[in-house]
Structure 1
Amino acid sequence: MARRRQTVTIKHVAAEVGVSLQTVSRVINNEPNVRPQMKERVQAAIDKLGYVPSIAAQRMSGSKSYLILALNDRERTIEDWRARQGSDWVDQMLLGGMLKCAELGYRLIFELVDTHNDHVERELRAMIAALQPDGVILTPPHSDNPLITGLLNKHEIPFARIGSSGNGGGIPLIMGDEGAARMATRHLIELGHEHIGFIAGPDDYALSGWRSAGWRNEMNDAGLSTEGLWAAGDFGHDSGVKATRQLLAQSPRPTAIVASSDQMAIAAIEVAGEIGLTVPADLSVVSFDNTPMARFNSPTLTAVDQPIAQTTSKAVELIVDANRGKELPIATTIVAAKLIVRQSTAPPPQSE
């Protein structure tokens, strides 16, 4: 019977070199005050033995946990998972965060928190005590929740704020939502549309206001009226139905709509069909997010592609930089979105 191969641990590396466990840990963690000759000896032993550093080994120095905690909204995330409608925000967030963490020797821990819960501070304190993270990634609406940001500031834990302008500390990162809304609106204007409706996201997301401002400013710059062309939504399908009915009841009726999520854009297409309008011949639709449903809907959706993975990856990078004492950017980091043109947009119908 073949003997099972023994797992190589940090103890084997230390014994091979004849040094302490702490010395090996300092080399693994690329810490200062380790002689170059010692680094070479330890690295040679690691290569020889085929040792793969573990979180436990990295923690032996006692100064870091090598864990980064990523928080997402509990209610909305669970709702999306149960609906199974193709939202991939969490997938893209984990893709960018986990790959960058692995590259830098960290691990990403993903947790759900209800930002509207009065107990959010207690939940977060429990997570911090259990995990002792070296940094935290906040996503909207957590990014602008003063209970959360205040607690992280108090504990002096570096935190990245995706979708936030950064008032109140932390490392702000945005995906250029105002510019993206301008880009989507400009695409429709260049096609010849003048009556362009806009369906906004919920007020507790700062990016909702940025997107509304981008649409409004682009319309104003083109000398086009926005009166009666804005409607409230909450990113969900049902709110998209209500908002679209409101917009299409206007006179003159909009010939195009920019919706702040793929689900609301699909709702707009459904409502248009109910009243006998065809997309894009009678109504053009642009969405935000570019989730899988944008590609598989019929017609396929022209969509603002949100760089969620790239933004989360950059958030990890900046948190690690903060832990290593590197100088961080003074300005808000922008990871720009792009517009993917598909079948749901076309020139407006010719008036008879």
Structure 2
Amino acid sequence: MNKPKKSIRRKSSGVTIDEVAALAGVSPMTVSRVINGQGKVRDATRERVMRAVRELDYTPNLAASSLAAAQHTRVALIYTNPSGAYLRELLVGLLRVASRTAIQLVVDYWDDLDAESERKAARALGARVDGVILPPPLCESHAAVTELVKAGVPVVAIASGRFSDEISCVRIDDFRAGKEMAEHLIRQGHTRIGFIRGRSDLSASSRRYDGFVTALHEAGLEVEPGLVQQGDYTYRSGLVATEKLLAHRKPPTAIFASNDDMGAAAISVAHRRGLDVPRDLSVVGFDDTSAATTVWPELTTVHQPIASMANAAMDILLRGIRRKTDSTRVLVDHVVPHRLVARDSVATPPKRR
């Protein structure tokens, strides 16, 4: 099968695919294969390329060739995300693409549907759109994905924690990001770190927790069950989980929340208890949404480039729509770079000071 040519425009920062290739010591074609999840690439080579991508903060922009495919195309965004801040970032990214093209963006809200209802909704939607973007938590809905794939509708998942063998995916390395954030707290001297988990039905939640656990084990620290509480990415769940963590007989000196909404809730509970953040308690979040900068102090967090991920998802989706006449589906696993954003919510623990 002839692979479509890839046209990549320069980022505003001026980083090109050739610069990534030069830093990684590979060809631009190899970089393209790695970031698009196409072809066989050795693990060591893939790691070198992704290290260069992260170092240069490189993200491919929507290909000009894909813009032509956008004419008269209906793309659906299906959401049921409890985080309003996350959804806003996602919509901004998709609306920017839609405003530059003739794409008709259809927004569909599935409010707490069971599996059978999701199947019916997916069947109905598949008959009237050309492609679908699934953000969390629907990015891992087996019922929805199965029906859409059966209908022959190209689908791209955003922020799934793992690559699917049924649909394309745009994501970050949640395991690495969770590990890096935990290592950041450990370097500050924290040895009792509370963790608020995200939704239990999402692989990204598990990957962030696994990274946290790995960092603790590598530092010779134990994961105390009482210092791990379940959340569901909502602000309210963050309040409940933080109250439990701070009521522990030996409370943590830092709390790692799996998203910014729960991180903001942790800061709120700390203030209500008369604790100073970060002097008495350090708090970190994840995603770098507006929730991270509308609290005081502003949250240290992991920057997940949600708007850029939406842009990349639309690019991949348009290519899939253009390939619908081909006999072979091409699935893409596009891993974008993340970065740790240090703000004022972290300090050394009280004893060390």
Same fold (TM over 0.5): yes
2:76 aligned residue (69, 79, 84):
69
Quote the offset at 1:329 in angstroms.
Answer: 7.2
Q: Does 1:144 pair with 2:135? A: no
Q: Does 1:342 pair with 2:339? A: no
In structure 2, do the counterparts of structure 1 residues 197 and 329 end up closer, same or farther at CA, with 3 Å as the change threshold? farther
1:245 aligned residue (243, 246, 252):
243
Specify the alignment match of 1:178 in structure 2. 175
In structure 2, do the counterparts of structure 1 residues 64 and 148 end up closer, same or farther at CA, with 3 Å as the change threshold? farther
Quote the offset at 1:258 in angstroms.
Answer: 0.5
Specify the alignment match of 1:259 in structure 2. 257
Specify the alignment match of 1:312 in structure 2. 310
2:184 aligned residue (180, 183, 187):
187
Any conservation in 2 of the 1:304–1:338 contact (CA below 8 Å)? yes
Specify the alignment match of 1:19 in structure 2. none
Q: Matches of 1:298 and 1:143 in 2, distance apart?
A: 32
In structure 2, do the counterparts of structure 1 residues 89 and 269 end up closer, same or farther at CA, with 3 Å as the change threshold? closer
What letter corresponds to residue 196 of structure 2 in structure 1? I
Specify the alignment match of 2:320 in structure 1. 322
Quote the offset at 1:70 in angstroms.
Answer: 1.2
Specify the alignment match of 1:133 in structure 2. 129
SS in 2 for 1:254: coil
SS in 2 for 1:127: helix
Q: Matches of 1:171 and 1:330 in 2, distance apart?
A: 5
Quote the offset at 1:115 in angstroms.
Answer: 5.5
Cα shift readout 1:66-93 (whole Å, capped 9, x = no counterpart): 11111111xx45xx6xxxxxx3322221
Matches within 5 A, 1:272-287: 272-287=270-285
In structure 2, do the counterparts of structure 1 residues 276 and 95 end up closer, same or farther at CA, with 3 Å as the change threshold? closer
Any conservation in 2 of the 1:98–1:107 contact (CA below 8 Å)? no
SS in 2 for 1:279: coil
Matches within 5 A, 1:105-254: 105-114=102-111, 116-117=113-114, 118-129=116-127, 132-164=128-160, 165-228=162-225, 229-254=227-252
Q: Matches of 2:91 and 2:265 in 1, distance apart?
A: 28
Q: Matches of 1:96 and 1:215 in 2, distance apart?
A: 29
1:268 aligned residue (237, 252, 266):
266
What letter corresponds to residue 345 of structure 2 in structure 1? S
In structure 2, do the counterparts of structure 1 residues 206 and 111 end up closer, same or farther at CA, with 3 Å as the change threshold? same
Quote the offset at 1:328 in angstroms.
Answer: 8.2
Quote the offset at 1:136 in angstroms.
Answer: 0.7
SS in 1 for 2:129: coil
Q: Matches of 1:329 and 1:338 in 2, distance apart?
A: 29
Q: Matches of 1:331 and 1:155 in 2, distance apart?
A: 19
Any conservation in 1 of the 2:77–2:108 contact (CA below 8 Å)? yes
Quote the offset at 1:336 in angstroms.
Answer: 2.5
Q: Does 1:89 pair with 2:89? A: no
Specify the alignment match of 1:333 in structure 2. 334
In structure 2, do the counterparts of structure 1 residues 155 and 220 end up closer, same or farther at CA, with 3 Å as the change threshold? same
Quote the offset at 1:199 in angstroms.
Answer: 0.3
Quote the offset at 1:257 in angstroms.
Answer: 0.6
Unaligned runs of 5+ in 1: 1-57, 81-86
Matches within 5 A, 1:12-23: none
Quote the offset at 1:119 in angstroms.
Answer: 1.6
Matches within 5 A, 1:43-82: 65-73=72-80, 76=81
Q: Matches of 1:328 and 1:150 in 2, distance apart?
A: 15
What letter corresponds to residue 338 of structure 1 in structure 2? R
Any conservation in 1 of the 2:72–2:102 contact (CA below 8 Å)? no
Q: Matches of 2:91 and 2:280 in 1, distance apart?
A: 39
Specify the alignment match of 2:12 in structure 1. none
What's the Cα RMSD here? Answer: 2.6
Q: Matches of 1:70 and 1:197 in 2, distance apart?
A: 34
Give the number of aligned pairs.
Answer: 280
Quote the offset at 1:293 in angstroms.
Answer: 2.9
Q: Matches of 2:329 and 2:175 in 1, distance apart?
A: 24
SS in 1 for 2:286: strand
Quote the offset at 1:65 in angstroms.
Answer: 4.8
Any conservation in 1 of the 2:77–2:105 contact (CA below 8 Å)? yes
Structure ID, larger Rg: 1
Any conservation in 2 of the 1:115–1:145 contact (CA below 8 Å)? no
Quote the offset at 1:251 in angstroms.
Answer: 4.4
Any conservation in 1 of the 2:79–2:109 contact (CA below 8 Å)? yes
Cα shift readout 1:174-222 (whole Å, capped 9, x = no counterpart): 1222222112111111111111111001112221111111111111111
Q: Which segment drifts farther, 282-291 or 89-98?
A: 89-98
Quote the offset at 1:248 in angstroms.
Answer: 2.2
Specify the alignment match of 2:49 in structure 1. none
Unaligned runs of 5+ in 2: 1-67
